[in-house]
Amino acid sequence: MASSWKLSEVQLREWLGGLLDANDVVAPVLEDGVLLFRRISSAEEAVIEASGKTRWSPKEFLFPRSEALYRYNFTGETVQLEDPPAPTKHLVLFGVRSCDAAGIVRLDEIFLSGARDRLYAARRENTTVVSTACAAADAECFCTAVGGSPMGEEGSDVQLVPLDEGWLLRVFTDTGRDLVSGATDGWTAATASDGKRLSELEKEISEQIERSQVKREWSKILEEGFESPAWDRLAQHCLGCGVCAYVCPSCSCFDMNHEANAFSGEQCRSWDACTFALFTRHASGHNPRATRQERYRQRVLHKFAFREEDEPFRCVGCGRCVALCPAGLDIANAVVAAVEAIREEGADGAR
């Protein structure tokens, strides 16, 4: 069986429509003018374009904004415990960008290695990722600066590549193969020239992204410059909200809260962000990251510095935090500026 095909727009929609029979399909849709990932009920709803990103990443379908870890009810003198419902249908994340797909692998590293997260794992095992490669970069994009690519394969089971006419469909994994099996009748197998188009596109878009490369050896410099006064300058205008973390494909922090009334309740896990003061504030009132600057530094270092030698950056370069930060902070520029400052002024600014 071939592993890449050429599809017309009509064939793509037919395939997507067919997926709806047996799967929950999540795809970009336009809601009140905002492009968002939503569960779709017909192929026509999905906005599958050659370029352009959803407002935020699809991570909420694997790592929900909020979810119950367990629920309980009081009845008479007894308490009934209840597990949250397990997913019943297979999930297809359709039309995610390469950066988003890479973001899912970053989430896997957090939730599936070490202490395996039961709820995340149940959803992840039941999910197939169909990504859409980009035919153009947005102004904020910088995937190529952090080791990614607009055609990146990481995290994708199936990839759609926009061609001048129609789509090139590439299958990378067995899960992906399952998703196309039975649908390939009438599809044209891709040829070597289509493969060439792929590298052309990759080159074209990489040229559109003008950001400087984030070098792997910078991680060490950034970590050594933890006390550098540069952080204070770089994040002076940070407003302390959580937009950056919440739109990020790879941010994985959460908080636990008890949501309950007199009759029932649940242990609830919700997204949290290191840029909030409450994230680290102790019960005593002491906050080890007392200022917004220290909190912003945490975010930058967690993306680019706190890692083992062989691990990738935790930033996938989608640029959403850059585009949506109300104060105009730019994480890619901040890294470059911090490294420059640490080199010039010394790790503690004393030079």
Partner 1 sequence: MTDIAVAQSEAASVPKGWQPHIVALVCNWCSYAGADMAGTTRLEYPAAVRMVRLPCTGRMSPLMILKAFEQGADGVLVSGCHPGDCHYVQGNLVARRRFTIFRSLMDFIGIDLRRLHFAWVSAAEGHKWARVVTEVTAAVTEAGPLPSFEGAGEWEGIELPALTGDGPQELDAAALDAVGSHLRQAASEVLTTGRAGVVIGYGAGSLPDRTVPVFITEAADSDRLVWGDGCRNNLAVYAHKMLETHERVAVVAKTCDLRAVASLIREGQVGRDRVVVIGVQCGGIHDGGELAGKCWTCTGDPHPFCDLVVTAEGVHDSGQDPSEAVLDLPDARDEQIAYLESLPHAERWRFWQRQFNRCLRCYACRAACPLCYCTSCIADKHRPQWISTAIDNPGNSAWNIIRALHLAGRCSGCDECVRACPADIRLDLINRKLTLEVERQYGKIGLDPEQKSALVDFRMEDGEEFIL
Question: What are the residues binding partner 1 (CB under 8 A)?
Answer: 31-34, 36, 41, 55-56, 65-66, 139-140, 236-237, 239-243, 245-247, 255, 257, 259, 261, 268, 270-271, 273, 276, 278, 322-324, 326-330, 332-333
Query: What are the structure tokens assigned to 214, written together?
Result: 């984030």
Give whichever of 20 and 324 is closer to partner 1, judged by the CB atom. 324
Q: Is 196 left (phi over 0), alpha (psi -120 to 50) or beta?
A: alpha
Q: How many whole angstroms separate alpha carbon 127 and alpha carbon 109?
A: 16
**In whole angstroms, how close is the CB of 268 to partner 1 at the nearest point?**
5
Helix (H) or strand (E) holding 161: strand 158-162
Question: For residues 61 and 123, is the Cβ–Cβ distance under 8 A?
Answer: yes
Based on CB atoms, which residue is closest to partner 1, 80 or 236? 236
The residue (of 243 and 318) whose beta carbon lies closer to partner 1 is 243
Identify the CA nearest to 168 among candidates 201, 143, 129.
201
For partner 1, the closer of residues 54 and 156 by Cβ is 54
Taking the alpha carbons at both ends of the chain, their separation in whole angstroms is 63
Supply the minimum distance, in Å, between the C-beta of residue 190 and partner 1: 36
**Shortest separation between residue 161's beta carbon and partner 1, angstroms:** 27
Task: Give the closest residue to 106 by CA, choosing from 304, 339, 315, 280.
Answer: 315
Of 122 and 327, which CB lies nearer to partner 1 in the complex structure?
327
For tokens 């997204």, name the residue. 271
- Residue 330 CB, shortest distance to partner 1, in Å, is 4
Q: How far is the CB of 56 from partner 1 (least distance, A)?
A: 6
